[in-house]
């Protein structure tokens, strides 16, 4: 499908039109009073004034407050504890995760493991699931079921409930009874940076247990106290016992967490483990049917609600899938604009792509026009509009850099699969709860058989996001996507300004050929701008890979947190 069309944001009232000098335009932009477009910057260098302008961390409801001697002590932090200082406030979106925080009693850890936990067929539901067909089984979080078999893809499993009912359930909604995933505090393999972000709006004692992404099997506790996130490595001795401090060893990780949550003091930790950090969004069910390759959805099951946007090939709507009661996004195809074969090719591409930062295909309607592609729904719309309506209090530097890192992660996955997107831009990324970002709109995506893909004659390109080789020769590769990512990063750095302000579309290629590149946005650190410039190398082979971009952004994320530590 074509990109959702979003009108270009005009330059601020003081920006000059085409033909004006670049330096004059820059000076005018600096003097503009439109603070959102030039001052609200993801990479703004922090100052005391900026920190003081942020909202204070959320205070838990009265019923959840701990005694003053636990939460309100003003003790000095021991020198042997190292941690990362967080800002005095954070994004409103992330902050909502802890709005209903309550004291955790760790009852789930008190139960001694019974013989049933060694039963390989016994699973527990991680989330609620409402059956959408006669052959499916509804689940309630915490319910135990026996798994009998899996479908061909492994994405669905046949479950037997205690009530005697048998039906299909999504495989990613259940976990073995003896697995760590059943615990609310266990987040699996996530990065140190992601853990710190999830805890950035928490309260004293909020925590999670995670597995290292770089060292599988190595686990750590991430714990927030007094504005810092502390990371404690969990060790294991030769007898298989786990511990944080050598004088307190346990047979299981659950026992260790319970021990450090039940004590008045943390016993080796800066504070007791009190509030498990909420896990991120419920996983996408793909497809929403256990039948092999059953992607065709009955059109009468789809109820359109309202239009979200339009594109070159059709329109996008918010809709409800009656069969499941799920909110979905529906892309429609204008008649006579794309052959059914091409439409199904797009669906086939999306079907293969399964990554936390890529929008997931749910199904299609192709039995009669207009054709539909049905995808998961992202509650906060496209990233461009999200950036333009947000302010410093809503999205701070850390939150937006975290979003950029997610986009790089999704694109790194496409790169590893030899797929090119060909229309990467803020308008084609979608935002969900807790600042979750997913790359969308694979309408121009193509699987590369060689190193490059040649577009057909007459193909239309988003000029300001297209690499020089695409504009000149219709040649595209993953390095073309890297160029577009540099422009997307510039969009984020300017909170959604239109690229190449004051430059006419017809002049963009000439400017690039003359070695012009967009200037560093006000407040943007040199390291970040250097990454943009690397993405904008004229020779495609000189541009970085998405894998290295993702690594660099993770590092920058940590650097910004370190700066915040010094300013606390």
Q: Which residues are catalytic?
A: 423
**Is 511 one of the annotated binding-site residues?**
no
Which residues are CB-contacts of 220 (< 8 A; sequence separation ≥ 6)?
192, 209, 210, 212, 231, 232, 233, 234
HSE toward the beta carbon, residue 445, CA cutoff 13 A: 29
Query: Is 474 strand, coil or helix?
Result: coil
Cα 56 from chain centroid?
24
Tokens coding 433? 């709860």
- Which residues share a beta bridge with 206? 275
Tokens coding 43? 């990479």
Q: Residue 371: which of 400, 409, 330, 427 has the closest Cα?
A: 330
Residue 230 near residue 81 (C-beta atoms within 8 A): yes
> Within 336-447, where are the H helices?
340-352, 383-389, 397-416
Query: In a 10 Å sphere around its CB, with 0-12 CB exposed, 13-18 middle and 19+ buried, how is residue 196 labelled?
Result: buried
> Within 425-545, where are the H helices?
468-473, 478-493, 508-513, 526-535
Exposure string for 488-524, b = 16+ CB within 10 A, e = fewer: bbbbbbbbbbbbbbbbeeeebeeebeeeebbebbbbb
Query: Is 319 strand, coil or helix?
Result: strand
Residues making up the binding site: 341
Residues making up the binding site for ATP: 341
């Amino acid at each position: 499908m074509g990109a959702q069309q979003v009108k270009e944001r005009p330059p601020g009232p003081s920006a000059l039109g085409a033909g004006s000098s670049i330096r004059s335009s820059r000076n005018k932009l600096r003097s503009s009073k439109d603070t959102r477009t030039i001052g609200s910057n993801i990479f703004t260098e922090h100052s005391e004034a900026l920190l003081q302008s942020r909202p204070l961390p959320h205070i838990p409801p009265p019923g959840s407050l701990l005694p003053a001697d636990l939460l309100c002590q003003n003790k000095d932090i021991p020198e042997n504890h190292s941690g990362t200082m967080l800002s005095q406030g954070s994004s409103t979106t992330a902050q909502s995760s802890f709005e209903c925080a309550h004291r955790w009693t760790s009852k789930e850890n008190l139960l001694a493991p019974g013989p049933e936990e060694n039963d390989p067929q016994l699973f527990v539901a991680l989330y609620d699931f409402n059956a959408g067909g006669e052959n499916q089984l509804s689940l309630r979080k915490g319910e135990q079921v026996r798994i009998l078999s899996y479908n061909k893809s492994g994405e669905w499993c046949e479950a037997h409930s205690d009530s005697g009912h048998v039906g299909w359930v999504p495989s990613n909604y259940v976990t073995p009874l003896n697995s760590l995933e059943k615990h609310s505090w266990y987040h699996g393999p996530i990065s140190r940076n992601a853990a710190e972000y999830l805890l950035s709006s928490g309260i004293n004692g909020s925590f999670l247990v995670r597995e290292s992404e770089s060292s599988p099997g190595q686990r750590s506790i991430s714990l927030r106290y007094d504005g810092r996130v502390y990371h404690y490595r969990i060790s294991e001795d030769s007898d298989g016992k786990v511990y944080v401090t050598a004088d307190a060893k346990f047979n299981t990780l659950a026992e260790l967490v319970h021990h450090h949550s039940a004590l008045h003091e943390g016993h080796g930790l800066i504070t007791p483990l009190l509030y498990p950090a909420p896990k991120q969004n419920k996983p996408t069910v793909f497809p929403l049917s256990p039948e092999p390759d059953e992607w065709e959805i009955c059109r009468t099951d789809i109820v359109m609600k309202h239009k979200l946007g339009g594109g070159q090939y059709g329109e996008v709507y918010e809709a409800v899938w009656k069969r499941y009661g799920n909110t979905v996004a529906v892309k429609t195809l204008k008649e006579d604009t794309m052959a059914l074969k091409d439409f199904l090719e797009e669906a086939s591409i999306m079907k293969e792509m399964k990554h936390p930062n890529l929008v997931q295909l749910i199904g299609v309607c192709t039995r009669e026009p207009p054709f539909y592609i049905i995808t998961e729904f992202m509650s906060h719309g496209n990233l461009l509009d999200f950036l333009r309506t947000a302010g410093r209090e809503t999205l701070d530097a850390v939150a937006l850099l975290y979003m950029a890192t997610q986009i790089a992660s999704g694109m790194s996955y496409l790169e590893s699969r030899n797929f090119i997107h060909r229309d990467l831009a803020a308008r084609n990324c979608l935002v969900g709860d807790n600042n979750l970002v997913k790359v969308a709109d694979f309408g121009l995506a193509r699987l590369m058989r060689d190193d490059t893909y040649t577009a057909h004659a007459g193909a239309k390109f988003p000029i300001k996001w297209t690499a020089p080789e695409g504009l000149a020769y219709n040649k595209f590769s993953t390095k073309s996507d890297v160029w577009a990512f540099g422009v997307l990063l510039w969009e984020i750095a300017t909170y959604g300004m239109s690229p190449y302000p004051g430059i006419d579309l017809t002049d963009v290629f000439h400017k690039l050929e003359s070695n012009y590149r967009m200037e560093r946005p006000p407040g943007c650190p040199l390291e970040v701008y250097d990454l943009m410039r690397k993405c904008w190398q004229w020779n495609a082979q000189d541009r970085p890979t998405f894998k290295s971009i993702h690594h660099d952004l993770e590092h920058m994320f940590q650097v910004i947190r370190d700066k915040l530590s010094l300013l606390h």
